[in-house]
């Protein structure tokens, strides 16, 4: 069985480049300057006001990895680190590469992929007219095709809190993707500064942590039946 773990990083568009109607809709309930700043800072969370700047993937069986990422700095080129190839792409090319690689795998693994990554990828693909190669949102309660560890580790929401990937890695003794000094809320600023390669490495760190968490789930939590 071929199993692929993946994760995405996103950034928001420039609020001032949105049309007046979209700006008004977004600011409808923003009463204070703090509320308005929060709206602008959260644009990357939604595929209508954001874009994908990196997708990292790793094949569990072989350990080979790939990161497709945007770089606003033209001086940044594609490169190789250990078993991972980092390739500079446009957003459309990122998605095309993702769909090509995910097509033949029997299982894919995410952390909160159902709540974020998968719908985001699907909507951005539609906007950019990139054809999907498979269903990223199969039946939620059957983990044969898609293992969303956020679902599995919270037993489909039985916990009142889902907890972040960082907290799960700390509990299981796994290196956190935050340990190299980057966190998800820094991605927007990093992209603005042209640090696409740093975002790409952070995205792969997320995938590596998710893969190790998946191994723990398979060996010590999952019950065959």
Task: Please compute, for residue 49, the number of CA atoms within 13 A of its CA located in the half-sphere on the CB side.
Answer: 20
- Above 80 in pLDDT, residue 225? no
* In a domain? residue 33: no
Among candidates 83, 122, 88, 87, which has minimal Cα distance to 102?
122
Model confidence pLDDT, tens digit, residues 93-127: 999 999 999 999 999 999 999 999 999 999 999 99
* In a domain? residue 189: yes
CA 212 to chain centre: 16
What global pTM score does this model have? 0.96
* In a domain? residue 106: yes
Q: What is the total count of domains within the chain?
A: 1
* In a domain? residue 125: yes
Sheet holding 50-59, edge to edge: 79-81, 84-88, 65-69, 50-59, 3-12, 107-110, 146-148
Neighbours of 135 (CB within 10 A): 11
The pLDDT of residue 224 is 75
Q: For residues 84 and 185, is the Cβ–Cβ distance under 8 A?
A: no
- Above 90 in pLDDT, residue 180? no
Q: For residues 130 and 94, is the Cβ–Cβ distance under 8 A?
A: no
Model confidence pLDDT, tens digit, residues 184-214: 989 999 999 999 999 999 999 999 999 999 9
Least trusted range by pLDDT, from 7-16, 43-52, 104-113, 181-190: 181-190
- Above 90 in pLDDT, residue 1? no
- Residue 59's domain spans which residues? 3-12+54-221
Q: What does the alpha-carbon distance between residue 139 and residue 119 come to, in Å, rounded to a whole number?
A: 14
Model confidence pLDDT, tens digit, residues 61-105: 999 999 999 999 999 999 999 999 999 999 999 999 999 999 999
- Above 90 in pLDDT, residue 181? no
Q: What Cα–Cα distance (Å) separates residue 211 from each residue in 108, 109, 137, 142, 214?
A: 10, 8, 19, 19, 5
* In a domain? residue 179: yes
Q: What does the alpha-carbon distance between residue 147 and residue 110 come to, in Å, rounded to a whole number?
A: 6
Instruction: Concatenate the DSSP letters of all residues of 22-62 into one string.
Output: HHHHHTTT--SHHHHHHHHHTGGGSTTTEEEEEEEEEETTT
Model confidence pLDDT, tens digit, residues 134-179: 999 999 999 999 999 999 999 999 987 889 999 999 999 999 999 8
* In a domain? residue 21: no
- What's the CATH code of the domain at 77? 3.30.420.10
* In a domain? residue 43: no
The pLDDT of residue 28 is 95
* In a domain? residue 194: yes
170-174 own/partner pairs: CB under 8 Å, 24+ apart: 172/212, 172/213, 172/216, 174/209, 174/212, 174/213, 174/216
First to last CA, the chain: 18
- Cβ-based burial of 17 (10 A; exposed 0-12, middle 13-18, buried ≥19): exposed
């Amino acid at each position: 069985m071929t199993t692929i773990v993946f994760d995405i990083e996103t950034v928001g568009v420039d609020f001032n480049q949105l049309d007046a109607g979209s700006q008004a809709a977004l600011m409808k309930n923003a009463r204070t300057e703090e509320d308005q700043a929060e709206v602008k800072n959260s644009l990357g969370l939604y595929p209508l006001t954001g874009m994908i700047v990196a997708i990292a993937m790793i094949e569990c069986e072989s350990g080979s990895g790939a990161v497709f990422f945007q770089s606003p700095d033209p001086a940044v080129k594609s490169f190789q680190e250990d078993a991972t190839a980092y390739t500079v792409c446009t957003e459309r090319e990122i998605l095309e590469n993702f769909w090509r690689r995910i097509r033949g795998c029997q299982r894919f693994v995410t952390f909160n992929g159902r709540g974020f990554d998968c719908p985001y990828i699907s909507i951005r693909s539609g906007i950019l007219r990139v054809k999907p190669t498979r269903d990223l949102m199969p039946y939620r309660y059957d983990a044969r095709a898609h293992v969303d560890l956020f679902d599995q580790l919270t037993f489909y929401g039985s916990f009142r809190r889902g907890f972040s990937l960082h907290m799960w890695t700390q509990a299981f003794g796994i290196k956190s993707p935050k340990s190299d000094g980057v966190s998800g809320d820094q991605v927007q600023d990093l992209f603005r500064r042209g640090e696409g390669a740093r975002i790409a490495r952070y995205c792969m760190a997320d995938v590596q942590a998710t893969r190790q968490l998946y191994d723990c789930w398979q060996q010590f939590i999952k019950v065959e039946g």
